[in-house]
Amino acid sequence: MQLPTNWLGIYRLFGNHCSFIYSVITVEIDKVVVMIVVYRLKKEMIARVNQVAAEFRKASNRQIADTTKRTIRDNVAICAQLSKISDKTIELITNNDNLKERERRQRQEIELLQTSETLLTEKNVANQKVSRWQRGYSDTVVVGTLCVVFALFVLYSVDGEILVTL
């Protein structure tokens, strides 16, 4: 490029150069402004994200606290129900054991009464035989026979005690 020799040419060249510098500076300033704006927006965006995250944490903690409280209440209610069921179960087991013991005693009593009935029936039959026999024989023979018959009928309990001697 040739340098102008007159002032007008220099002025134009200088003006072109200044406008070029001005345009470059303007573009650079615009770039800097854009970078500042971008930086500010980025900073605002980060702040907003942090704020939203904090709000989410608060809501989450509140919800977790509510859920935990609800879970604890449910747990207490279930424990109370289990306690009632356990108490009722113990009561039913005790009642069942008592009924089994009562049934066992009644079965023993029935067995003992059946044995007594059998013995009494045999005694009755023997007494009837003795009574028939007595009509036909003397009094001394009958008394001796009755003693033998009565000595045979002794009723024992389950424990080995003598309950009835016939």
8 Å CB contact between 130 and 145: yes
Q: Are 134 and 142 in contact (CB under 8 A)?
A: yes
Residue 150 pLDDT grade (very low, low, confident, very high; cuts 50, 70, 90): very low
- List the chain domain ranges: 7-165
Higher pLDDT, 129 or 43: 43
In Å, how far are 56, 109, 145 from 134, measured between CA atoms? 112, 35, 10
**The tokens of 28 are what?**
């650079």
Question: With 80 as the cut, is the pLDDT of residue 68 above it?
Answer: yes
Q: Is the model's pTM score more than 0.85? A: no
Is the pLDDT at 142 greater than 70? The verdict is no
Instruction: Answer with the residue of higher pLDDT: 92 or 3.
Output: 92
**Average pLDDT of the residues in 116-121:** 90
Quick check: helix, strand or coil at residue 137? coil
Q: What span, in angstroms and rounded, lies between the C-alpha atoms of 161 and 111?
A: 15
